[in-house]
Amino acid sequence: MVNDTSLGALEDAQQQESRTARQRIELAEEYLAHYRSRIHLVQESFYELGARHGIQDDPGLRTELQRVSEVADENTRHTGWKIAELEEDHQTMTSQHAEERERFIEHQRKNG
């Protein structure tokens, strides 16, 4: 016989752990979207400022805008990889939870 209270406590703890991991992933995705948005606004602002001063085609300005784009792209790629790692960790955790639950149930049956 499986102790429903203990099994319920295990499942509750696992669900909380999973929710926390999922929230971290969602928060990271939100931060990344915010970062992309802010970088885009900064780039537009600098270009507009350059246009107002008639230097939008200046090689120095173009070089700096390109450098900022490259840095932002690299940061976005790196963050995307980290988010993917968080998602993989969540999948691994979910599998481990299922195995834990099965071991718990089996242990309860044997020692019932």
Distance in angstroms (rounded) separating the CA atoms of residues 68 and 45: 13
**Predicted local confidence at residue 3, as pLDDT:** 62
Give dist(CA 32, CA 26) in Å, integer.
Answer: 10
| Contact predicate 102/7, CB 8 Å | no
Task: Say what the pTM is.
Answer: 0.82
Q: Find tokens 């102790």 and name the residue.
A: 3
List, in order, residues 6 or more apart from 87 with CB less than 8 Å away.
Answer: 25
CB atoms within 10 A of CB 36: 15
Q: pLDDT tens digits for the chain (112 residues)?
A: 456 679 999 999 999 999 999 999 999 999 999 999 999 999 999 889 999 999 989 999 899 999 999 999 999 999 999 999 999 999 999 999 999 999 999 999 998 6
